[in-house]
A and B are shown apart, each in its own frame.
Chain A
Amino acid sequence: MKISVIITLKKDVLDPQGKVIHQTLDGMGFEDVNEVRQGKYFEIDTKETDNDKAKTKVEEMCKKLLANLVIENYKIIDPK
Chain B
Amino acid sequence: MKSSVITFPGSNCDRDMDVALKKFGFKNKMVWHADAELPKSDLVVLPGGFSYGDYLRCGSMASKSKIMQSVINFANSGGMVMGICNGFQILVEAGLVPGVLLRNKYLEFICKNVFVKINDKKNKYFKNVDNEVLEFHIAHNEGNYFCTNDQLKEIEDNNQIAINYCNENGKIEDQFNPNGSIKNIAGIFNKEKNVLGMMPHPERMIDTSLSGEDGSLFFKNLINNLK
**Residue ranges of A at the interface with B (Cβ–Cβ < 8 Å):** 13-14, 16-17, 20, 64-66, 68, 70-71
Contact = CB atoms under 8 A, between A and B. Distances in A.
B180 A14 contact: yes
B100 A68 contact: yes
A61 to B, nearest CB: 11
Interface of B: 56-57, 60, 64, 93, 99-100, 102-107, 144, 146-148, 151, 180
26 contacts: A13-B102, A13-B146, A14-B105, A14-B144, A14-B146, A14-B180, A16-B104, A16-B105, A16-B106, A16-B107, A17-B103, A17-B107, A20-B107, A65-B56, A65-B60, A66-B56, A68-B93, A70-B99, A70-B100, A70-B146, A70-B147, A70-B148, A70-B151, A71-B100, A71-B102, A71-B146
Closest 4 CB pairs of A and B: A70-B100, A16-B107, A71-B100, A68-B100
A13 B105 CA distance: 11
A70 B155 CA distance: 15
A3 B100 CA distance: 27
A4 B41 CA distance: 43
Given A68-B93, A70-B148, A16 B56 contact: no
Contacts of B104: 16
Contacts of B107: 16-17, 20
Contacts of A66: 56
Contacts of A14: 102, 105, 144, 146, 180
Contacts of B180: 14
Contacts of B100: 68, 70-71
Contacts of B93: 68
Contacts of A71: 100, 102, 146
A26 B115 CA distance: 38
A14 to B, nearest CB: 7
Contacts of B106: 16
A5 B146 CA distance: 24
Nearest to A9: B102
